Structures are given as structure tokens and as C-alpha cells.
Amino acid sequence: MPEMTGSRVLLTGISRNRRWLTLGSAMYGGHQICEALVPVVIGVIIDRAVATGDVAQLVVWVAVLAVLFLVLSLMWRFGARLLTYAEAGEGANLRIEVAGTILRPRGVRTDLRSGELLTISSSDADNASYFLDYIPRIVASLTAVTVCAVTLLLIDVPLGLGVVLGTPLVLVVLQLSEPLITRRIQHQQETAGRAAAVATDLVAGLRPLRGIGAHEPASRRYREVSRRSLRATLRAARTQRGFEGISATLSNLLAAGIAIAAGWLALDGAITIGQFVTVIGLAQFLVEPLAQLTVVPSWIAEARASANRVAMVLSAPPLVPDDTAELPAPPHGLDVTGLHYGSLQGLELSVAPGELVGVVAPRAADAEALVTVLAGQLAPEDYRGTVAVAGVDVAVAGHRAARAALLVEPHTTDVFTGTLRSNIVVGDDEGSRPDDPDLLDAVLRASAADDVVEVHADGLDTPVSERGASLSGGQRQRVALARALHTRPPVLVLHDPTTAVDPVTEQTIARGLRALRHGPGRGGTTLLVTSSPILLATVDRVVVVDDGVVRTSGTHDELVDRDDDYRRAVLR
């Protein structure tokens, strides 16, 4: 497959919109031809009707002028409609492609942060799609300059040669600045993306930052990043505005030179009054298409800079290779062997099929490292050891099989805009049954999310605002837990799923979780990474991880009786 570059992104957009581009460019070109013919017809009216007093000629040419205005208006209207459709569609296609790459089940290998990815999937995708608007404008401007040059050649050869030779010279001079503009615009977009990333992190973590008194340093950091973004934006803007000023000056000088030469020819009697009016009209008309052509380097630079950033995401390889090893039918066990990552130092952990196991890690870093690896958020080379489901290393399993077999619900839950139902019943992957009301009821009871549903008049159809802001922290946790349970994965990993609920609700969840996944005939395998004594009291076995290795294991009651460190970690 050819390497994805900014140029390829732009060429792909042209290819899949070639029909609308062709029609739209033809209509824009026709509009410019009619615009250029307006001063020509006015000159003819002066020479054939006004100068001679011929009323019949006046009526005929005025009618021709009216038809010209009608045609040019229709050409512009329908051409703009077609090209707006193409531009909007291409912007949507690029946003979908970027989002699809970011949301790949196997992840995406990139150093870009979420705020930068958001900027690329929105403003950069739109800026790249604007290239489709630039092409017909360039075609139309070239058409206008060509018609003017031919007309002027017919009136007077030196006037026509002035346009024919002057226009390419101006464009070549201005084209030399395109690489500089591209670099500065791309730098400005990168700094804006970094500022957006820092702002996203700051807003998401504002409450805990205030809790530990770190909001002022975080604010200072954002101000520094924001100032760098402002400086880059101003620098790019100065470059673009300076370029536009120079281009406008050159195009106006060319038009003024033509008008002055035409005045000299008229005084000398080399051209008629009607031809002089035509030349003046064409000189005035030429200003706009010349101005459009002179800013082409700036347009291309902006579109290419955005397309380069889009290509950077689209060409990013998967975080985890998509291999094809298949998994046997459930029930599945989970085996972690020789795991080295972060604070983990050769961790060995085994969960038998159908077993409910708790993991207690007095050091939060151990728990975070374990959950991160199990969640498939790392490339295989970023850690050592294996994570196997049913004896198959998930790093070499087909991504659909691995995703269907192992689900990790992190402590930081995501709830999306929509309804309670749409946040719980998601997807149609194997193990998920959106049309099973009995399963949904059982999941709601097991996660204690039935209370969340009952307190709202609209029940499951209750709207949920962005990021679940309309729900409390405990309600968001229960909705996320219900979603994880509803998918019915053979192996489920939960990280602190009940930290925001009260003890009574937590007890309900502990009993419901065991009954739903480990009752008679259930056969689910569950790993609970938690320090909650209520949850740990219901598991089959507790494994204590300390300093990156398994220190001890046993039932909750056994460990409470014999292990002082365990008691300090879980009893509260």
C-alpha cells in the first residue's frame, strides 16, 4: 500500500470528488467567461449603438448583456452548490477516516495526545477539504485571465502580451514563498494542538488538581503553552498577511499598467472609445482573478499543512499487530507470565476458567501497570512477558477474538452523550444481546444501575449529557459497570468499580456480580483489582501484589486473620 502523505490525502479527495469538481469547475469557468464578456459587450454597445445612435443595435446588445448576467448568475449558483456538497462531503470523509484510525480496536501508535488528535480530526480535516474549493477557483481565475488576454490581444497585441507575460511572472515570484508559509502554518497548527491537549487534560483533572493544591502550577503550564501557540499563530498570520499584501500590490500594478497603456492608445487614436472602455473594464475585472491566483501558494500551503497532519494519523501503525490466532470456545482462563512493565517485576498471575479472583495492590502503581497491560493499551515491545487467554497470547490473537474474550473496565469510566440505554446496550459483538430484555434487567440489578434508572422519569430513555455530567460519580460508575456486564465477555477485568458508591450499594453490587457471572451455569472468569473489603469478601481467592510481584494469596478471611499488611490495605 502506498505511503500516506499529505499530497496523497489531497489527491484522494480530488479522485473521489472528481465528478463534482469537474462540473463545478466548468460552471465556475463559465461564470468567469460571462463576467469577462460584460465589459466587451459594453464596449460594443458604445461603438455600435451609443456612438452611432442606432436604437436597434442598442436593444440587441442590451438584451445580450441581460442574457450574460442571467447565465453568469445561474452558473455561479449551481456551481457553488455542487462544490459546497463536495467540500462538505470530503470534510466528513476525512473526519470519519481519522476517527476510525484513532478508534481502531488495536489502538494507534502515536505520540499525539487526545487534544491534538481532536484538532486533527476537526479543524485539520476541514482545512484539507477546502482544497476542493481552491481547485475550481484556480480554474475559474485562469479562465478569466485567458479570456481577458485573448480579448486584449484582439484589441491590441502589446496589451494582450502584457497579460500573457505578466501573469505567469507574478505567479512564479509568489510561488517561491509557498514552502515558508507551509512550515509556519504547520508549526502553528501543531502548537495549537498541543495547547488543546493541555487544556483537555487540565479540565479533565481540575477537581483532583484543586484537591492537592496543584491547580496553580497546572494553570501556569497551560498559560505557557498557550502563549507559545499565540506566538506561532501571530507569526503565521504575519507571513500570510504580508504575502497577501504583496500579491494584491503586484496584481493591482499589472491591472493599472494595462489601464494606463489603454489610455495612451486611446489618446493616440489606436483604439476606439468602446475598446478603451472594454480595456478599462477588463483591467478592473482582472484584479479579482489575479488576486485569487496570487494567493494560490498560501491556499495550497494551508491545505497541505493540514493534510500532512491528517496523513500523520492515517499512516500511524496499529499499536498492537493484527494477528490471526484464534481462541477456543469459552470458558476461558487468564494467565499473566513474567510480566515486566512499570513497577511490575516479573509478575506471575493465573485465574482459572470460571474463577472470581481479587487482586490487592497496596501500591497504586502496581495496579495501574497491570490494568494498562491487560487493557491492550501498549505495544508488545513496550513490556516483557505474556498475557494469555485460554492459553493464547492476546498479542498474537485476532483483534476481534481478543476483544470479545477479554474486556477491561478501567477505574476512570467514560459515559457518552445519549441515553442510559445507549450507554449500557452498545455494539453487536459476540456476547452482546441488545434485544434481550431479561439480560438487561439482570445486568441492571447486578450493577445496582436499576436505582439509576428508577430515579429518572424517562427510565432507560433518560438523556445523558456530555461526559455523563448529568449523572453523579456513583451513577456513572454503575452505568459503566452495567455496560461491561452486558457485553458478557468470557474474561472480565474490573478496576476499582465501586469507589464512588455507598457501602449498601457496594454490597448489592458484590452479590449481583457474583450471581451474574459465577452463578450456576454461568462460567465467567472475573478479575477484580480492588481494595474494597466488601468486594473481596465475595471472591474465591485474593492475590496480593506488592513491589511488582505476588507476595501472598488466600481467601479474604484468611488474609485478614494472618496478614497485618493486608489488613491495613483493605480494612477501613
Q: Is the pLDDT of residue 155 over 50?
A: yes
**β pairing state of 549-554 and 541-546:** antiparallel
Neighbours of 289 (CB within 10 A): 25
For residue 380, name the pLDDT band (cuts at 50, 70, 90). Answer: confident
Report the pLDDT value the prediction gives residue 416, as an integer from 0 to 100: 87
pLDDT band, very low/low/confident/very high, at 265 (cuts 50, 70, 90): confident
**Rounded distance between C-alpha atoms, residue 120 and residue 98, angstroms:** 8
Predicted confidence at residue 526, as pLDDT, reads 96
d(CA 255, CA 266): 17
pLDDT digits over 170-224, tens only?
Answer: 666 655 655 665 566 666 666 766 666 666 565 555 555 555 555 566 667 767 7
pLDDT band at 338 (very low <50, low <70, confident <90, very high): very high
Work out the pLDDT band at 428, boundaries 50, 70, 90. very low
Predicted pLDDT of residue 204: 58
Cβ neighbourhood burial of 165 (10 Å; 0-12, 13-18, 19+): exposed
Find the farthest-apart pair of alpha carbons in the chain and give their distance in angstroms, rounded.
118
Q: Per-residue pLDDT averaged across 293-321, rounded? A: 81
pLDDT at 447: 93
Cβ atoms 385, 347 nearer than 8 A: yes
Q: Which three cell numbers stand for residue 410?
A: 478501567
pLDDT given at position 534: 95
- What mean pLDDT value characterizes the chain? 83
Residue 497 pLDDT greater than 50, yes or no: yes
Distances (CA, A) of 363 to 359, 368, 499, 547: 12, 9, 16, 8
Rounded to whole angstroms, the Cα distance separating 12 from 9 reads 5
Residue that is written with C-alpha cell 457474583 in the block:
514
Task: Judge if the upstream peptide bond of residue 331 is cis by omega within 30 degrees of 0.
Answer: yes
Strand partners, 341: 344
pLDDT higher than 70, residue 406: yes
CA dist., res. 33 & res. 148, Å (int):
9
Q: What is the DSSP letter of 1?
A: -
pLDDT at 429: 46
pLDDT at 449 over 80: yes
Instruction: Give the contacts of 78 (CB within 8 A, at least 6 positions apart).
Output: 27
Contact predicate 490/391, CB 8 Å: no
Please give the pLDDT value at position 102. 85
Task: Please give the residue that has the higher pLDDT: either 483 or 268.
Answer: 483
- Alpha-carbon distance of 24 to 14, in angstroms, equals 13
User: CA 513 to CA 520: how far, in whole Å?
Assistant: 13
State residue 430's pLDDT score. 42
Task: Determine the pLDDT at residue 207.
Answer: 53
Q: Helix, strand, coil shares of the chain as percentages rounded to 5?
A: 65, 10, 25
Q: Is the CB of residue 403 less than 8 Å from the CB of residue 104?
A: no
So what's the pLDDT on residue 196? 61
Name the least confident of 171-185, 259-273, 554-568. Answer: 171-185
The whole-number pLDDT of residue 149 equals 81
Q: CA Rg, the chain, in Å?
A: 34
The answer to whether the beta carbons of residues 540 and 527 sit under 8 Å apart is: no
Measure the CA–CA gap between 20 and 80, rounded to whole angstroms.
Answer: 10
* Residue 160: all three cell numbers together: 494582450
Contacts within 8 Å (CB) and 24+ apart, 159-167: 159/258, 159/261, 159/262, 159/265, 159/279, 162/254, 162/257, 162/258, 162/261, 163/254, 163/258, 163/286, 166/254, 166/257, 167/254, 167/290, 167/293
| CA nearest neighbour of 390 among 376, 378, 404 | 404
107 closest CA partner among 378, 298, 341, 309: 378
Looking at 103-177, list the stretches that DSSP marks H as alpha helix, in order from N- to C-terminal side.
Answer: 114-119, 125-129, 131-155, 157-175
Task: Give yes or no for residue 448 having a pLDDT over 90.
Answer: yes
pLDDT exceeds 90 at position 303:
no
C-alpha–C-alpha distance, residues 503 and 501, integer Å = 7
Residue 337: strand, helix, or coil: strand
Task: Reply yes or no on whether the pLDDT at 3 is more than 80.
Answer: no
The DSSP code sequence of 402-416 is HHHHEEEE-SS----
Q: Which of 41-55, 306-320, 417-431, 518-532 comes out lowest in average pLDDT?
A: 417-431
Phi and psi at residue 117, in whole multiples of 5°? -65, -35
Query: Residue 76's pLDDT is what?
Result: 93
> Per residue, what are the HEC states of 169-216?
HHHHHHHCCHHHHHHHHHHHHHHHHHHHHHHHHHHHCHHHHHHCCCHH
pLDDT computed for residue 1 by the predictor: 46
Strand 406-409: give its sheet, edge to edge.
406-409, 491-495, 525-529, 356-360, 541-546, 549-554
For residue 362, what pLDDT band results from cuts at 50, 70 and 90?
very high
Of the listed ranges 153-167, 192-206, 246-260, 542-556, the one predicted with least confidence: 192-206
Beta-carbon contacts of 541 under 8 Å, excluding residues fewer than 6 positions away, are 355, 357, 358, 553, 554, 555
Give the three cell numbers for residue 312: 500523520
Task: State yes or no: pLDDT of 432 exceeds 50.
Answer: no
Q: Who has greater pLDDT, 173 or 12? A: 12
Residue 493: pLDDT band (50, 70, 90) is: very high
**Domains of the chain: residue spans and CATH:** 6-314 (1.20.1560.10), 334-570 (3.40.50.300)
C-alpha separations of 208 from 269, 366, 552 in Å: 84, 21, 32
Give the pLDDT confidence score for residue 29 in this predicted structure: 93
Query: What pLDDT was estimated at residue 552?
Result: 94
Instruction: Give residue-wise pLDDT tens across range 71-125.
Output: 999 999 999 999 999 999 999 999 999 998 888 777 777 877 777 788 888 888 9
C-alpha cell read off for 323 = 494477528
Do residues 121 and 99 make contact, with C-beta atoms less than 8 angstroms apart? yes
CA-CA distance, 453 to 321, in Å (whole number)?
40
Instruction: Measure CA 312 to chain center.
Output: 12
